[in-house]
């Protein structure tokens, strides 16, 4: 088979051709995480003819992974994800050089890997890994494509693109483990990470073929419960090497204390109407992310006193605040960990 014969359909696209295919053939992409996001991303990157792919994942395949990690079969249970993924991908496209790294992503690993990569895909489901990836990509000046999934929702962003926003710019606060939920706890439909992983591969290919079309200051929020999508504008705002954080935070415990002391707040709920109701006493103003227009919201919240914006886990609310003008952000506080953290803190206080 002619080397380019398998790629004729994509090479027929405008502004792709032999030059575009050569860009893919010469590229080196690192994919961190070979799970629900990583599996479909890896398949499409390999099928497209990316020359070298390094797969980083220390985990082993569990039977509960098989509903969404579609590279694997029951016979693979117990094997290393990275190694097994590379083995399967070599069958898909023998022309691609595949490197398996059965280790967690660390600063030491990044030092040996990132200088030799063109870009990185963050396909992890661990928050500490996302921050480590963001910091490493800033240090070595590499773009990375982030995706995250929670139940029927997903988010996607091309980060650190030519000086654009980073993960820490959008999510400056690192939630504690008690305020985060895993797929095991929250549940996940296999198609959701599948679609987000394909979008990551799509953005990676675009970055290599059509870099002028990449939008590096945008967070895409996808809700597949009601099939809506919103794009939130972002910007490089984090000062690395300092402790400055552009978004003010209040913990659930501190909020409970202040409410008990008679402090009053104006609450804005960015969750969707179909989600569980917020506390009645909060009398929260609901502005869902599916209809969030920063310019309109800025006008509405600018006059609010002691405004706290919240969502279910404190992630969407940070993105919402980050989309507003800096002068508006200065008067708004994010509820760390969201409503879920508040309910936990409230239950713990009652139990004392």
CA–CA separation, 122 and 120 (whole Å): 6
CA–CA separation, 80 and 148 (whole Å): 22
3-state class (DSSP) for residue 74: helix
CA–CA separation, 65 and 331 (whole Å): 43
Measure the CA angle with vertex 319, ends 247 and 250; round to 5°: 40
Torsion (CA) 202, 205, 211, 214 in degrees, nearest 10: 10
Active-site hit among 39, 86, 183, 307: 183
CA–CA separation, 61 and 163 (whole Å): 36
CA–CA separation, 50 and 194 (whole Å): 20
CA–CA separation, 287 and 216 (whole Å): 25
CA–CA separation, 233 and 169 (whole Å): 12
CA–CA separation, 56 and 77 (whole Å): 18
CA–CA separation, 94 and 86 (whole Å): 10
Pairing state between β 218-223 and 228-233? antiparallel
Active-site hit among 39, 117, 123, 311: 311
**183 has catalytic annotation:** yes
**Class of residue 235 by CB neighbours under 10 A (exposed 0-12, middle 13-18, buried 19+):** middle
Tokens describing residue 134? 């963001």
Q: So which residues are the catalytic ones?
A: 183, 311
């Amino acid at each position: 088979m002619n080397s380019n014969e398998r790629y004729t359909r994509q090479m027929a696209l405008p502004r792709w051709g032999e030059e575009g295919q050569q860009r893919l053939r010469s590229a080196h992409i690192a994919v961190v995480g070979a799970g629900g996001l990583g599996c479909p991303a890896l398949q499409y990157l390999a099928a497209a003819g990316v020359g070298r792919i390094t797969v980083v994942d220390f985990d082993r395949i569990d039977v509960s992974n098989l509903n969404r990690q579609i590279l694997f079969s029951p016979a693979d249970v117990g094997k290393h994800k990275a190694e097994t993924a590379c083995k399967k991908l070599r069958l898909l496209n023998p022309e691609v050089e595949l490197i398996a790294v059965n280790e967690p992503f660390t600063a030491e690993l990044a030092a040996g890997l990132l200088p030799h990569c063109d870009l990185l895909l963050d396909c992890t489901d661990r928050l500490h890994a996302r921050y480590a990836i963001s910091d490493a990509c800033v240090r070595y000046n590499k773009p990375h494509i982030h995706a995250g999934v929670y139940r029927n929702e997903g988010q996607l962003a091309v980060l650190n693109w030519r000086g654009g926003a980073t993960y820490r710019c959008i999510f400056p606060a690192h939630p504690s483990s008690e305020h985060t939920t895993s797929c095991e706890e929250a549940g996940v439909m296999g198609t959701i990470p599948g679609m987000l992983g394909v979008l990551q591969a799509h953005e990676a290919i675009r970055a290599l073929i059509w870099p002028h079309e990449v939008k590096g200051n945008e967070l895409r929020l996808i809700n597949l419960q009601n099939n809506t999508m919103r794009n939130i504008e972002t910007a490089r705002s984090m000062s690395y090497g300092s402790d400055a954080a552009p978004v003010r935070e209040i913990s659930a415990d501190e909020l409970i204390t202040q409410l008990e002391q008679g402090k009053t707040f104006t609450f804005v709920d960015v969750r969707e109407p179909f989600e569980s109701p917020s506390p009645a006493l909060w009398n929260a103003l609901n502005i869902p992310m599916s209809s969030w227009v920063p310019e309109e919201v800025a006008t509405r919240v600018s006059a609010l006193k002691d405004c706290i914006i919240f969502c279910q886990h404190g992630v969407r609310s940070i993105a919402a605040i980050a989309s507003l003008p800096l002068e508006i952000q200065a008067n708004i506080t994010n509820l760390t960990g969201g409503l879920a953290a508040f309910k936990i803190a409230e239950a713990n206080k009652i139990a004392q």
